[in-house]
Amino acid sequence: MPNQRDISVRVDGIDPSVAIENPSNALELSSRLEESSAEGHGVIPIGGGTRLTVGGAPSKYDIALNIGKLNSIVSHNPADLTCTVEAGITLENLRSVLSEHGQFLAIDSPFPDQATVGGVIASNAPGFLKWQLAHPRDSVIGMEVALPNGTLIKSGGQVVKNVSGYDMARLHIGAFGNLGVITKVSFKLTPKPVREATLDIEFDEISLAYDFAQEVYKSYVMPLSLICSHDFEKSSSGCKSLVRIGGRERALKRQIDLIREIGRRNYSTSIEIIEQPESDRLWIDVLNQSVKGVDSGEYIKINTRSSCTPSEVEHAVRII
């Protein structure tokens, strides 16, 4: 599966001072790390380049290690709902292959045509599918990682019922490559719903959209994704909720009817049902919009910590 993407390796305005490496396999990548470690070079692994602005500026940036050529599907066992892929494959390419077998990886992320599996896992950057289908760490069943000294290690395996050894793969989820460079990942997969749709419900006030989302959450509806926002460019009122649902035809119809009723109770101004493939494109747009401005530098980095008692969580979310 060829990879022709042109990826920027600049991080916070800083270019690598020594070289840009493009290894074509895990052994070559581990060899580059071993050499860099011996020479004391600072290495930054780069996948699709969609999360390079996260965190502070690097204190040392000598070598950019581009994993884009590690983009193969190592194995796919449709009967067992598992697959093993190299870390440089994009989410979009993997999704298209799995879709042919009626399966999908329950991980979404902004810019799926650029974001690599390794980058999404290393940066812990899932999208809205985690709302129902669990966190990415719960989809990972095995991993191969190249340590900073070049040693290749493996954890887990290619089967779901894998109980041998410690679950070391979880250490690398969200570690941003600080503990090692992910080279391969094994996943458990999810069957694609027979039918999928998104309900676009508009409101006059964001508080009404929030109340609607809360009621949907407490009902028997099981959304794949559920969000509310007041910053959608295509919304006439600026306040809406999006509910993504999937399942068999009869079950989906019951959920749609209930969502309509909940919308009416919360004074919705309009309800639209968006079918596939428009539904998929909508959620890609929403994901991309959630990080709008990051690539262009039109943002300010702010880190803050807030805390509240459990009884105050709902009020805190409203304020945010």
Q: Are residues 77 and 186 both part of a single domain?
A: yes
3-state per-residue secondary structure call for 144-182: EEECCCCCEEEEECCCCCCCCCCCHHHHHCCCCCCCCEE
- Does any domain span residue 14? no
Read off the pLDDT of residues 167-208 as tens digits, 9 standing for 90 and up.
Answer: 788 899 999 999 999 999 999 999 999 999 999 999 998 889
Out of 139, 170, 191, pick the residue that ends a domain. Answer: 191
Instruction: Round to whole Å and give the CA distance between 307 and 310.
Output: 9
Q: What is the pTM of this model?
A: 0.84
Q: Quick check: helix, strand or coil at residue 216?
A: helix
Q: How many CA atoms lie within 13 A of 52 on its CB side?
A: 25
Residue 291 predicted with pLDDT over 90: no
pLDDT band at 163 (very low <50, low <70, confident <90, very high): low
Q: Are residues 168 and 254 both part of a single domain?
A: no
Out of 129, 163, 191, pick the residue that ends a domain. Answer: 191
Q: Are residues 235 and 176 both part of a single domain?
A: no
- Does any domain span residue 114? yes
Q: Are residues 98 and 208 both part of a single domain?
A: no
Q: Are residues 110 and 215 both part of a single domain?
A: no
Q: Are residues 187 and 199 both part of a single domain?
A: no
- Structural domain range at position 250: 195-290
Q: Quick check: helix, strand or coil at residue 113?
A: coil
- Does any domain span residue 80? yes
At residue 320, the pLDDT reads 60
The length of the chain in residues reads 320
- Does any domain span residue 78? yes
- Provide the domain count of the chain: 2
Beta-carbon contacts of 287 under 8 Å, excluding residues fewer than 6 positions away, are: 108, 109, 110, 111, 112, 127, 128
- Does any domain span residue 115? yes
